[in-house]
Amino acid sequence: MPLHAADVPKAGINTVCPISGKPANPKITYAYEGVTYAFASDTAREQFKKVRAESLYQQLGGKAAIDAAVESFYVKFLADKRVNHFFEDISMNRQRKKQKEFLSAALGGPISWTGKNLRKAHENVSGLNETHFNAIAGHLKSTLEDLKVKPELIKQVLAIVETTRNDVLNRPKKSE
């Protein structure tokens, strides 16, 4: 169960267990990626550790790996004339930060995505189409290959990326 960004302690420690939602005991803690989390019980702490270890996010290398991948990805992306024009008026420092947060959440990191949903974020991107999506996904694949990520993990990442295609391209939602 990922935390919401507002629940991640900036200073001090969280007061709500990220697993159970119950009050956290400040004596039952676990430090993960520079943040100390408190839990309601030892069982909740062990569950958090297990979920972290099994997540695609952690298998890829956690925060450091996501940060490296996003930095490398945007070098490729911004050099590509097919897609770089979409970011001409965008603060790339802010964009990189948002992308790191989004990918971390999408790949099973400990913090939930609290930004715009993908459909809303891309609704005013004029001309964005299948070719652009494929180019961007290709840059992500190439970046992960350059970083020597195992092929089976790349396949999992790309499968998650594929689930975003209709929202990013603002295709009509299929009726339920």
Low-confidence ranges of the chain (pLDDT < 70): 1-11, 175-176
Given this model, what pLDDT does residue 23 score?
Answer: 96
Annotate 115-159 with three-state secondary structure: CCCHHHHHCCCCCCCHHHHHHHHHHHHHHHHHCCCCHHHHHHHHH
- Indicate the domain borders of the chain: 5-54, 56-168
| pTM for this prediction | 0.84
Half-sphere exposure of 113 (CA within 13 A, CB side): 17
Given this model, what pLDDT does residue 6 score?
Answer: 47
Topology of domain 56-168, per CATH?
A: Globin-like (1.10.490)
Give me the residue label for tokens 């099994």: 54
Give me the residue label for tokens 């039952």: 28
Please write the tens of the pLDDT for every residue from 29-80.
999 998 899 999 999 999 999 999 999 999 999 999 999 999 999 999 999 9
